Amino acid sequence: MKATKLLTTASIGALLFGMSAAAQSANWRYAHEEFEGDVQDVFAVAFKEYIEENSDNTVQIYRFGELGESDDIMEQTQAGILQFVNQSPGFTGSLIPEAQIFFIPYLLPTDEESVIEFFNTSEAINEMFPELYAEQGLELLKMYPEGEMVVTLDEPFTSPDDLRGKNIRTMTNPLLSETYRAFGATPTPLPWGEVYGGLQTGIIQGQENPIFWIESGGLYEVSPHLVFTGHGWFTTAMMANQDFFDGLSEEEQQLVRDATEAAYEHIIDHISGLADESLEKIQEASDEVTVTRLDEDQIQAFRERAPQVEERFIEMTGERGQELLEQFKADLEAVTGEE
Ligand code: 6CS
């Protein structure tokens, strides 16, 4: 009798423990800006797998269009409807002006190894940016590169003069418009959902993006002339709603940080060689595509226009932007050894 009672008490205890563990497990919602198999999706899936293998929590991923445009998923995260979001500085720049630093042309080097080392070690990226995002109620978990920017146009180009009168789609931050104005073009800020149609109907004559995205979004079908200008990298950022993150236990915060690190390591592996593979796929799929790699003299004509964009960045962001830029440059110098 006594034994039965003990057993019953133990079973109820186990059940209650199980229930409370179950009650504590949560389904976290995570939205990003890309399609299945694209870089942001690969990152999100690696994050989800880590969380689900190492806890009772689950992660539900929402891809481009399922919850709206990039600005919509950011609003939903700030409102606490989503727990995690991946939004690129190309869009966050209108909310956090300092995030536009990635659009100062020719600031980042073109070689992948240096770019990755920069992201791994930069104080500006890993210490200063989290403070800026925190002011907007966001816990910045990771900034990472997706690929070198390539411009696509309705005809090949080699100089700023060739870009005169061309409407080039930009992501919706004011500094990127300055860059394309400095490059001689007419910047046309648009959300992603309008880009393919805009190119197809001729409202815009070009755009910039990493090669994997030009391939996966089929942009080369409607904008077949690819030009490597060497002016920048597509960078993105993954973050959490800060109230949600602050409300997690220390163990869960660590779990989220570990999952982010695991996803980051995975993505760095994933992007290596991705641009070459994607370019091969594009060239197999289309005879119309041309690839132009600007030589040093041609690049110089674009590079000469970078200082005016840098000045605009300082005007837009003030002392804080200046400090960030100085740190950014010092971090780059530490990686490349160049001033
Ligand atoms: O150009 C864009 O808007 C998109 N490009 C990439 C590489 N990812 C998402 C973003 O919306």
Mean pLDDT across 316-338: 96
pLDDT of residue 21: 45
Of 213, 267, 274, which is best to mutate to test ligand 1, by the most ligand atoms within 8 angstroms of its C-beta? 213
Report pLDDT for 339.
75
pLDDT band per the 50, 70, 90 thresholds, residue 35: very high
Average pLDDT, the chain: 94
State both tokens at 87.
């939004």
The response to whether residue 148 sits with its C-beta less than 6 Å from ligand 1 reads: no
pLDDT given for residue 109 in this prediction? 93
Ligand 1 centroid from CA 255, angstroms: 28
* Ligand 1 in reach of 206 Cβ (< 6 A): no
- Range with the lowest mean pLDDT among 22-26, 170-174, 291-295, 303-307? 22-26
Q: What is the rounded CA–CA span in Å between residue 180 and residue 170?
A: 8
CA max distance for the chain? 94
Cβ–ligand 1 distance for 152 under 6 Å, the answer no
Burial class (CB in 10 A: 0-12, 13-18, 19+), 315: exposed
Mean of the pLDDT values across residues 49-57?
A: 98
**Would the CB of 208 count as within 6 Å of ligand 1?**
no
Phi, psi of 182 (to 5 degrees): -60, -30
Whether the per-residue pLDDT at 313 is higher than 70: the answer is yes
Could you give the CA distance from residue 207 to residue 242 in angstroms, rounded to a whole number?
33
CA-closest candidate to residue 174, choices 69, 73, 103: 103
Please tell me the distance between residue 33's alpha carbon and the centre of ligand 1 in angstroms. Answer: 7
Is the pLDDT confidence value at 242 over 70? yes
**Each residue's pLDDT tens digit, 255-284:** 999 999 999 999 999 999 999 999 999 999
pLDDT for residue 22: 46
CB under 8 A, 24+ apart: contacts of 134-140: 134/242, 135/96, 136/78, 136/95, 136/96, 137/78, 137/241, 137/242, 137/243, 138/77, 138/78, 138/239, 138/240, 138/241, 138/242, 139/239, 139/240, 139/241, 139/242, 139/245, 139/246, 140/237, 140/239
Q: Which atom of ligand 1 is nearest to the CA of 207?
A: 1
pLDDT band at 17; cut points 50, 70, 90: very low
Q: CB of 91 closer than 6 A to ligand 1?
A: no
Cβ of residue 274 lying under 6 Å from some atom of ligand 1: no
| Range 317-338 average pLDDT | 96
Instruction: Give the DSSP letter string of 97-113.
Output: GGGGGGGSTT-S-S-HH
215 lines ligand 1 (CB under 6 A): no
The amino acid sitting at 217 is: G
d(CA 235, CA 185): 22
Q: β-strand 206-210 against 84-87: which pairing, if any?
A: unpaired
SS3 label, residue 35: coil
Does residue 19 have a pLDDT over 50? no
pTM for the model stands at 0.93
DSSP readout, 242-259? HHHHHTS-HHHHHHHHHH
Domains present along the chain, CATH in parentheses: 2-336 (3.40.190.170)
Looking at the predicted structure, is the pLDDT value of residue 59 above 70? Answer: yes
Q: Is the CB of 170 under 6 A from ligand 1?
A: no
In 119-217, which ranges are E strands?
Answer: 138-153, 167-170, 186-189, 206-210
User: How far is it, in rounded angstroms, from Cα 47 to Cα 256?
Assistant: 8
Angle between helices 112-121 and 306-336 (to 10 degrees): 80
Ligand 1 contact, 41 CB (< 6 A): no
Query: What's the number of CA atoms in the CB half-sphere (13 Å) around residue 309?
Result: 26
User: What pLDDT score was predicted for residue 2?
Assistant: 43
Q: How far is the CA of 42 from the centre of ligand 1 (A)?
A: 15
Q: DSSP assignment, residue 36? A: T
pLDDT in tens, 204-232: 999 999 999 999 999 999 999 999 999 99
- Please state at what angle helix 306-336 crosses helix 174-182, rounded to 10 degrees: 100
As a whole number, mean pLDDT of residues 313-331 equals 98
Give the tens place of pLDDT for each residue, 137-185.
999 999 999 999 999 999 999 999 999 999 999 999 999 999 999 999 9
